[in-house]
Amino acid sequence: MKFVDVAEITICSGKGGDGAVTFRREPFVSQGGPDGGNGGKGGDVIFLADRNLRTLMDFRYRSKYAAEPGQNGSKSNRYGKKGKNLVVKVPVGTIITEPISGRFMHDLASDGDEFVAAIGGRGGLGNSNFKNSKRQAPNFAEAGESGTERAVKLELKLIADVGLVGFPNVGKSTLLSVASAAKPKIADYPFTTMTPNLGVVNLGDTEFVLADIPGLIEGAARGAGLGHDFLKHVERTRLLIHVIDASGAEGRAPSDDYVRIRSELAEYSPRLTRKPQIAALNKMDVADRSGDGYAELLRVLSADGIPYYPISAATKEGVPELIRSAAAELARIGDEEAGTFDEYEAAREADALSVTPASGESGYRDIHIEKDGDIFALSGKQLKKIFDSTNFNDYGSLRYLWQYLVKAGAIKRMKTDGLRDGDTVRMYGMEFDYEDE
């Protein structure tokens, strides 16, 4: 089983529905007044971890996901219907981050975990909400809030019970193929495996997922080769099996292979070296059991307290014993090794994992002012919403926009920057001549 483990997509929550501008029109009812209803809230974009999914392949063919907008309000104070939430299913073990900053957003570690990645826009208020003692017939309503659009990066950290680690061409793929029903590509040259392969090992009364992690090279923890891409998949495994070429056929000392791989694991994350580990001494059908290299390997493993099992994946010698010992070790440790990742722990403890606004967003009520000569350009998320709601043919509606600028401090700030009578105030393609009251 091969899989796609990284994808970047764009998500957009639903726009809120607009408030309605309507008035009661009933026989024998004088001065019926405004009765425009509020718009409905836009739908959220929610990621859901689903154990039935194994890859992020679907996201390679579709890159944009949008929730349903809320419906507009209508007469008789009828509210618009809420937009339907968009639930995006992803495999268990998917981590969501912001692509540019790399900021962590959420870890969908368990089946059924949910994360609201983009909240739908609030529905706009109908004109009935703007009636007061001075404004009896408001001829304007509020536009619905825009949805939130943001890019997110989905990264699947492999969830397997047991991970096979070792140098290229030591027999990990062959071991996977004889221990499970997996059919990985196998050849006698390095880097046959370019992505992790999964296989299910069935022992009758129990089963577990076995992962063939692509071969590591020295410097992998610092990104050499595809080191980081491969090492990240080791993090969630509960048990590691070091697959070692005990024959030394590649010209390396078997004990050196083990020491170097263990060093790469420790450099990438000290947590990896604390995982339960056993060793599979492979290619015993051609190894010299009486040689110094084999003796040194056993000495090093014993010194580290690593149980070892002589096997030959090619002839299946010793493989059943290895697999039974792995199953017994999994039963002993239970789920204690499953969990989160070191690189995010400090941020979690600092409560720094709340979702930040999409790139380029300011605070909801902030007004940004740019001055160019005697022209003052205004922008802001809430300002845009009120601007879109303004009926420029209605004095009451224009007054509402002006009062918002005053209450938000924009007029005071512009005066501090030199705003004078006759200067131009620009908002979203429309220009106004300023006159001091």
Domains in the chain, ordered, with CATH?
A: 1-157 (2.70.210.12), 162-337 (3.40.50.300), 368-433 (3.30.300.350)
Q: What is the average pLDDT across 309-333? A: 93
115 band by pLDDT with thresholds 50, 70 and 90: very high
- Tell which phi-psi region holds residue 102, choosing left (phi > 0), alpha (psi between -120 and 50) or beta: left
Structure-model confidence comparison of residues 187 and 427, the more confident one: 427
Q: Does the pLDDT value for residue 339 go beyond 60?
A: no
Q: What is the average pLDDT across 383-390? A: 85
At 118-172, the pLDDT tens digits run 999 999 999 999 888 778 888 888 888 889 999 999 988 766 788 888 888 888 8
In this prediction, residue 278 carries a pLDDT of 95
Alpha-carbon distance of 252 to 378, in angstroms, equals: 68
Q: What predicted TM-score, i.e. pTM, was given to this entire model?
A: 0.60
Strands (E), 321-374: 368-372
Name, of 305-314, 364-373, 417-426, the range with top average pLDDT: 305-314
Q: What is the average pLDDT across 413-423? A: 90
Q: Does the pLDDT value for residue 182 go beyond 80?
A: no
233 band by pLDDT with thresholds 50, 70 and 90: low
Please check whether residue 172 is in contact with residue 243, taking contact to mean a CB–CB distance below 8 angstroms: yes
In this prediction, residue 177 carries a pLDDT of 86
Structure-model confidence comparison of residues 330 and 347, the more confident one: 330
At 24-77, the pLDDT tens digits run 877 766 667 899 999 999 999 999 999 888 778 888 888 999 999 999 999 989
Please check whether residue 265 is in contact with residue 228, taking contact to mean a CB–CB distance below 8 angstroms: no
Alpha-carbon distance of 246 to 170, in angstroms, equals: 9
Q: Cβ–Cβ contacts within 10 Å for residue 171, how many?
A: 24
Q: What angle do CA 189, 218, 305 make, to 5 degrees?
A: 100
Q: Could you tell me the two tokens for 8?
A: 């970047």
In this prediction, residue 234 carries a pLDDT of 73
Q: Could you tell me the two tokens for 297?
A: 């390997």
Structure-model confidence comparison of residues 155 and 13, the more confident one: 13
In this prediction, residue 230 carries a pLDDT of 53
Please check whether residue 211 is in contact with residue 237, taking contact to mean a CB–CB distance below 8 angstroms: yes
The least confident of 200-204, 393-397, 412-416, 421-425 is 393-397
Q: What is the average pLDDT across 261-278? A: 83
Q: Cβ–Cβ contacts within 10 Å for residue 304, how many?
A: 12
Mean pLDDT of the chain: 81
The helix (H) or strand (E) run that includes residue 383 is helix 381-389
